A = this chain, B = another copy of it.
C-alpha cells in the first residue's frame, strides 16, 4: 500500500468550511487506497493574532515562550481537521510535533529538524487511521522544549515526515495551482510548470518564488522525496518537483524553468574601497558579525587612476539598518569613502538547467531587458541562474519582457532555440 503525506497551508484551513473541504479531499485519498498522513498549518490568521497578543504583553517575548504560544495554532487546526474527518466516517488521530517525533535543535523560532522518529504515526496509519500532524513545530533534543521551525516550517515538516516514513510522495496543497513560469499576478500569460527538477526549484525559491521555500526543497532533494505542489481548491494536477520526470508521464524538461522576481531586498554599495587584500574580508566580517544574511555580491574592477573600487551587495530590507550600523563602525578600519543604501531595487532571475548547454541565454535575457528600456544595475550568475538588479519600478515590465522573450507565454509556441556559443 502506498503512503502519501499531504500538507495543507493556513489559507486552505482558514475557517470551518475550509476544514470540511480539506477533510473531504483527505478522505478521497484514503478511499483511493492510500495510507494518508496529513501535515497542517494554523488556521488563516491565527498565528498573526497570537503574535499580536504576545506584543501586547511583552515587547521582547522569549523564544521558548513564543514557540509555546505559536504552537497552539496548529493544535487547534489539527484537532478540528481530525474531527471533520471522523464526521465523514473515517478514523483520524491528531499528533503534536512532539508526539510525531519531530526532533529539532534548540534554536527557538527557527529550529532545524535533526531527526524524525515517527513511531506513533506509523502505528496510527497501520491501524487504519488517518494521522494528522501539526506542522511547523517540534521538540528540542536536549531540553525537551517545544520549538518552531520558522517561516514555511510546515512544508519542511511534511517533507521530513515523508522521508522518515518512506512515503511515495509529499503533496503540498496551497492556494495556487502549482509552480508557474512567473508570478501569475505579474505575468498574465504565465504557465503552470508540470515538472521541475529539484535544482531549478531551489534556484527559483532562492530567487523570490514563494510557492516552496528553499529549505523544504533542499530536504526533499537530500532524501529524494517527490513533491507534488497543487491546489486544495481545484482537483487539478499541479507541479511535480523531483529528480526525474515520473516514468508514466511525458514531461520534457524546458531549457528555462521560469522567471522569478524579488522586491524584498535592498542594495548597499561601499564606495571607494582601497583595492588591496583584506578589504572585502573586513567588510563582510563586519556584516557576518552583525548576523546579517546577504545575497548577491558584486565588485567592480578598480579605477586605474585612484586604486579604489566599489563593492555592492544585496540583503533583506529588514536587515538594512543593522548592516549599515555595522559598516559605519568599521569605516575607520576599512577606510572606504562612503556608503550608499538603496531599497528601491528589484531582483529579476532567470532559472533553468538548460542554460548550461544552450548558448545565448544571457544575451537574450539582456536584450529583452534592453528592449524594454530597463537598466541593469548589478549582475550575478550561477550555473543555472542569471540574476540582475533593476529599479523597483521596472520589475513587472522586466519580468513580462523576459517571460515573453524565452517563449514562456501561454499563447506562445514552444521554447526559443538559441544560436551562438556560450551564454
**Is the C-beta of A68 less than 8 angstroms from some C-beta in chain B?**
yes
B84 and A58: CB pair below 8 A?
A: yes
- Name the residue among A20, A53, A79, A120 with the largest chain B CB count within 10 angstroms: A79
**Is the C-beta of A344 less than 8 angstroms from some C-beta in chain B?**
no
B80 and A54: CB pair below 8 A?
A: yes
Q: Assuming the A-B contacts A57-B16, A69-B76, A72-B76, are A82 and B94 also in contact, with contact meaning beta carbons closer than 8 angstroms in the complex?
A: no
Within 8 A of B (CB), among A44-70: 50, 53-54, 56-62, 64-66, 68-69
Give the residues in chain B near A285, CB-CB below 8 Å: none
Give the residues in chain B near A61, CB-CB below 8 Å: 83, 86
Distance of A86 Cα from B64 Cα, bound (Å): 11
A75 and B80: CB pair below 8 A?
A: no
Q: How far is the CB of A157 from chain B (nearest CB, A)?
A: 17
Give which listed residue, B16, B76, B82, B146, contacts A62 with CB less than 8 A: B82
**Is the C-beta of A35 less than 8 angstroms from some C-beta in chain B?**
no
Give the residues in chain B near A60, CB-CB below 8 Å: 87
Q: How far is the CB of A123 from chain B (nearest CB, A)?
A: 11
Q: How far is the CB of A26 from chain B (nearest CB, A)?
A: 13
Distance of A227 Cα from B331 Cα, bound (Å): 64
Give which listed residue, B65, B66, B83, contacts A65 with CB less than 8 A: B83
* In the complex, per-residue mask of A133-168: 1 if CB is within 8 Å of any chain B CB, else 0: 000000000001010000000000000000000000
**Is the C-beta of A109 less than 8 angstroms from some C-beta in chain B?**
no
Q: Assuming the A-B contacts A16-B53, A50-B76, are A83 and B66 also in contact, with contact meaning beta carbons closer than 8 angstroms in the complex?
A: yes
Distance of A19 Cα from B57 Cα, bound (Å): 7
Q: Assuming the A-B contacts A83-B57, A144-B99, are A69 and B65 also in contact, with contact meaning beta carbons closer than 8 angstroms in the complex?
A: no
